[in-house]
Structure 1
Amino acid sequence: MKKIISSITFFALLLLLFQGVTVAQVTISPTNLFIDDNAQFGSYMVINGSNEAQEISIDFFFAYSQSDETGTRGIVQNDTEREEEFSIADNVRAFPRNFTLAPGQRQTVRLRVSGTNELPDGTYWSRIKTTSTPETPPLEIQSNDAVTARVGIRVEQVTGLFFKKGNVTTGIDIVGIETNTENEGNTLNVLVDHLRTGNSPFLGTITTEILNAQGRTVLSDFVSTSIYFDGIFKQQLNIQDLQPGNYRVRVTFESDRNDIDRSRLVQMPTSTQTVPLSIR
């Protein structure tokens, strides 16, 4: 067990779903940053909305999300083979990398990507880890009472950095769709076996619909997500209010998201597939 001395660490791993991230009132925007080989520069904003000064540090590491055979998603950080092929964590520099923000102050962090001339066309990526810790007063001005307890809250916010080199393409081929139920038939699990094509991750929206016999959508849900490699996508739908009968399930992958400008996304033809569904 790790020994805890004077700080509690919170690790916030964020999946590219929001425009701003707020933890302990330190805000980062945007949460997904895109740089191409024409500019090789980018920037994001760190804002201290708390009532105390915050010490900020910037680091980079390689990771990606991946689903297992059940559709459960997790974060992979120790894949050395794919890191060697797709990571730009060692190619990025932050300016400034360490700084202090007074309450209400903001700082633009500028990023520079270098050493990518020999990379094949495609999209490469890194995670940006922005760590914030309340500034500790100098020893000479701390309280000299008998006992003073101070707990520092260290917050690590993880956001995305994508570097597009040359001609970038992506696509989703749907291999098949399977369905099953749980919770006494009230929850429908939709499992989509897919291949990710092209040389770039899919960043977009996946919509799952249930259509009645007339082809009208009676239930739907969507998720904005990223798909880096082949896998199984899982969507759960509450079907307890649907009447018994014959339906169809339609799943659609589109390279469009509400939280990212369309011009930033690698575009692809919409991919969709429909399978029959019987509710008893």
Structure 2
Amino acid sequence: MLAILLVSAFLSGCSVSPTGRNQLTLYSEDTMAQQGSQSFEEMKQQLPISQDTKINRNVQCVAEALLKTAELKPVEWEIVVFDQPDTVNAFALPGRKIGVYTGLLDVAKTDDQLAAVVGHEIGHVLAHHGNERVSTTMITQAGLAILLIGLQTQDMNSPELTAALTGGAQIGIILPFSRAHESEADTIGLLLMARAGFDPKASVVLWQNMSQAGGDGPPQFLSTHPSNESRIEGLESHMDEAMALYREAAHHPQCPAR
């Protein structure tokens, strides 16, 4: 019965991402939006919010330019700058939420570089990566349950085998999917920032800055993110298309200084 439900869920949840990649999304957009909004409210209660007017205006301007280009209504989105100088990160969530940590602004030194990060995060939402991630995890866990039940009936199960199968699923299925999400969001964000009038070449400079700031990371096959070098190669492979969009952009945002 579990196997039948697993196959049915897989077939009913097949969809296509903005780049044409097949993906699995089992949850409704309303469900994902509710979870995203709840997580965002919890973060606002737990983390200090920046009261710096210049920084808030700057981040708001960059984000709104990208949202308009993505045909999303900025007025419906909540954009918050979290006062976390040691955190170099940003995120976007289903439910129309964007968060930027002040630590990112030391690495994304220009509006174009900030647009590369925020465009990437909006790309995750446009491609429904959150939905796909939880769907993939659920299917993987269900598949492992079926396999382990089968091994138990054959008296082949053991703690060592269970650990090996679980670790294999993590490295072989879940982590590669996450890296695929990151690479896809890079591409979506690159083209989005170019259409919005931000210089796409700044995305490469951004990841060079990230590499200098972040130091050595884990091996790529054990990481949920591609290496900085892989990201730069991926961005450069789409740079000609992005530069053409940038040259065609009707407007180049002039955001207030931080």
Q: What TM-score range do you get, normalising by the shorter chain?
A: under 0.3
Bigger strand fraction: 1
When Rg is computed on C-alpha atoms for both structures, the one with the higher figure is 1
Q: TM-score, normalised by structure 1?
A: 0.24
Q: TM-score, normalised by structure 2?
A: 0.26
